[in-house]
Each structure stands twice: as C-alpha cells, then as structure tokens.
Amino acid sequence: MIGQTPILILKEGTRREKGKGAQFSNISAARAIADSVRSTLGPRGMDKMLVDSMGDVVITNDGVTILKEIDVEHPAAKMLVEVAKTQDEECGDGTTTAVILAGELLKKAEALIEQNVHPTVISGGYRMAAQKAREVLDDLAINVTPSDRETLKDIARTSMISKSVAASRNLLADVAVNAVTAVAEKNSDGKWEVDDDNIQVVKKQGGSMDDTHMIAGIIVDKEAVHPAMPKKVENAKIALVDSALEVKKTEIDAKIEITDPSQLQAFLAEEENMLKKMVEKVKSSGANVLFCQKGIDDLAQHYLGKEKIYSVRRVKKSDMEKLAKATGANLVTKLDDLTADDLGTACLVEEKKIADDKMTFVTDCKNPKAVSILIRGGTEHVIDEIDRSLNDAISVVSVAFEDGKLVTGGGSTAIELALKLRDYAASIGGREQIAIDAFASAMEVVPTALSENAGLDPIDVLIELRQAHKAGKKYAGINVFTGKVTDMKKERVLEPIRVGRQALSSATDAAVMILRIDDVIASKGGGGGKGPKGPDMGDEGGMD
C-alpha cells in the first residue's frame, strides 16, 4: 500500500530547520548583527577595529562600513546587512539606527511568538504601525530651505558628532554645505536635485584634519607633460579633447615601403608636420590649457611646451566630465572641430606638489557645477574616516536640499513616535494591536542605546523622556554629554526626514520578511536555487 511506503522528498542528511526553531534561529542571527553595531550609536558610541586576513585595518563606527567588512554566514543575518546598505544608498546616514531598530522589532516579535501570537498577525501589525509612524513623522517635520545655511550646517554637524572627526565638525560641515550648494541644480519641476558624483573627493596623507578644504574647481591627479610648460596659468582658457595628439596607425593593414634615405626624411618631416598642425589647431582656438583624455606624442609635447600651453594627458573620463561641468568647456572628440566656443574658463590652473605627488589644480571657476574637496589627515586610517564622515555629511545635506524637511535627533522623534503609536494601538481592534504596541516599544531602542553608550541609566532616561513627551514637549531628547533631557530643536540636533523614513521602511521590511520564514532548507548550490548559497543570498555581506 502507498500509505505504508515512506516517500523521500529531500535528500537524506539535508540540513533543515522548521517551525518555531527556524524562526528563533533566524531572529537570534539577525539580533546578533544588530548587537554588533549597537555600541557605535550616538556621540558617545565606540569604534570598531576590523582586521582582514591580509592584516589590513579599518577603524570606524560607521554602521554600514562595519557590516560590509564583517564575514556574515547566516542568510537571515545577511538581510540586516542589506538593510544597512539600502539605508546608506538612500540617505548616507542612519545605518546603525536602521539595523538596531530591525533587531529590536525581531526581539519584541520573539516574545510574542512565544505567547503563541501568529507571525502573520505580528507582520500585519508591524506594517500598520510603520504606515502610521510615517504619517506621524510627516506631522513632526520642520521645513528647511536651501538658503538656510545655518540649519543645513546643523544637519551636517549632527551626522558627524558621533564620528572621530567631531572636533573639526564645524569646518567639515562648512565644506559639505558649500559643496552641495555649488552642485545643486533645479530640475524641470522646480525641485532641487543633488548629484553627489559632481563632488570629487581627493585624499592626501599629511597635514592635519583642519587643512581639509573645498576647491571651486577640480583637482586632476596628473602633472604637466613637459618641463618647458608653465607651472601656473592665470585666466586659463581650457580645451578638453577626447582624441590623441599622436600620429595614428592606418585603419586597415597597410605597409609603407621606403627605398632611399630621402624618402625616410620626407616621411619623418610629414609626421612632424602633422603633429605641428595639431598643436597649431589647439593654439588657434585660443586655448592656453589642454586636458587630453588620450596620449600626447613626445614631439607634440615639445611644441605645446614652446607655445606655453599647459597640457595634461591620459585624464580619466570621470575627471573630464567633472572638468566640463566646472569650467563650462565642451568635450571635443575630434581635434579639428575645436573652436573658441568649446573652451572653458578658470581663474587659475597650476601644478602643486601635495605630499609626494604633483597634481593639477583648476581653481576659482565661475559658478562651477562640479567641485573638489581635498582631504588631509595625519594617517591613512584618519583620512579614510574623514572621507566616510564627510560622505555622510554631504549625503544628509543633499537629502535635506531635495526634501526640504527635517526632524530632531537625540531619540526625541523615536519617543514621540512610540507615544503616538501606543495611542494608535489602543484604537485598533484585534490581535494586531499587540504587535503595534510591540512596535512602539521597539522604537524606544534608539534613546535606550544612546543612553547606554553614554553610561547613563536607560530606564531613568526613558521615564524622563516619556514624561516630557506626555507633557507635549515633542522635541525633548537626551543630551548624552550632560545626561539631561533637553529640547533637541534648541540644541540644533537635526536630521533629514528621509533618514528616519527610510530606517522605518527598511527595518520593518526586513523584520517582516524574517518573521514570515518558518522553514530553512539547504538548497542546491550554483544553479538557479535562491537558498543560502543561491544568487539572492550569496556573498553579499561584503566579505573580504
């Protein structure tokens, strides 16, 4: 009889977890990831030192950098790494907040599953809570305009206060706001758009953190090709050429036969003449600076030097595009088409030696749509951390520019959301209200972690914060330096609304996805399987 014959569906020895065992295993793996970055949150957060198999060291408290670098095996844990990556791509900041919020949502869900609340009920409640939280967030938002430079600087300072560059945050905030203001453009709908790719960052070891500055122009990591060229060109007329100043080979296979010495001389003279004409073409356009994406022949270099035309060869395509935006020049693909109308302008082009490298500085461009930031610092690790911090600052200022809305930090927004969600939970019937209440409690992980990292008593802080918010002080948050609950709007602790909105969405999506898994089965590797070794859960955790 068929009923008595056991049917083997999975191969013997297949690794499998199911039911509550699978859920609890996934939750604990995801929580372990959240706990690994929890101690880095806030101005009093600590740094992590990451050492790879080659002995390379990264020292940072940037959530996404830590999670990209650590070697993650568990598939559920990888989902939390994805949360950090998404947060970083969308906002550039708030990665640690998003991850610890996802971890806390799972911790609260674990307690509910133990009480036999079904995971789909919890998921439904979490979705409702996240939707309500986003609405409350919009009500709490404060408007900001691109002309309000001080508020934009406050946003940049807030993003850097927890980093090791906090001592120089005023200078770096100024650099970030100036850079974003320079490259911001209005689109056809009249909304602001900021493309971070138009901000070039050049890192050079040496000097101090305070030597970091913005240049209204572009730094090209190349030097002049010939010693006879001027090292400094004022009122530069800049030509950008995407073709080689060399005598090319013929398009088809060809053979040139020379039968006597006079023909050889004529051939060389013609080659020289062709190069001379190319240089004449550059000179006749009125250019006194030439950036060439391809090569420049030795003889052409000699003639350009004689004409005192500052020339740089083999410039990267990305640098050429930035130069075009900064100087207003047109990128010419055929040298014969170069005219005076294609030239860009800059007050000064000069060759400078920074550390051991000679570089070309194109500075004081009029209304540049691409700018450069030169980062200086004592050691390579310091420079890398300044770069990460500045990148966060630029990202949050860009997001504030585009959205025009911000909220207060210091855990004030999280507590206000928790308060409003508890009121909302009471108005909802059914079991979902338990999940909404759990979501509200999970929101309080932000001020709890901030106070723990500052060595304060999290329970006392939480009670005080709840009292303040119940009394209508919606901007009350924890000042981790004094240990007191103060008005975060007056303290100028501000962040763009998109940081909080994205953290809510990413954390909820990840938590719901992990909660809905009740079976973990080892799948076939290499094929189209999307299991622990399939393409969707491959080595995405930034494994070095």
Q: Which residues are catalytic?
A: 62, 95-96, 392
Burial of 340 (C-beta count, 10 Å sphere; 0-12/13-18/19+): exposed
C-alpha–C-alpha distance, residues 102 and 505, integer Å: 10
3-state secondary structure of 175: helix
Helix H or strand E segment including 487: strand 484-487
Pairing of strands 357-363, 310-312: unpaired
Q: DSSP character for 427?
A: T
SS (H, E, C) 230-260: CCEEEEEEEEEECCCECCCCCCCCCCCCCCC
Count Cβ atoms within 10 A of the Cβ of residue 521 and give its class: 0-12 exposed, 13-18 middle, 19 or more buried: middle
- Ranges assigned E (strand) in 305-429: 310-312, 331-332, 344-354, 357-363, 371-377, 405-408
Q: Cα–Cα distances in Å, from 144 out to 154, 171, 463?
A: 11, 21, 31
- Smallest CA-to-CA distance from 345 within 359, 361, 324, 374 is with 324
Would you say how long the chain is, in residues? 544
CA 337 – CA 265 distance, rounded (Å): 30
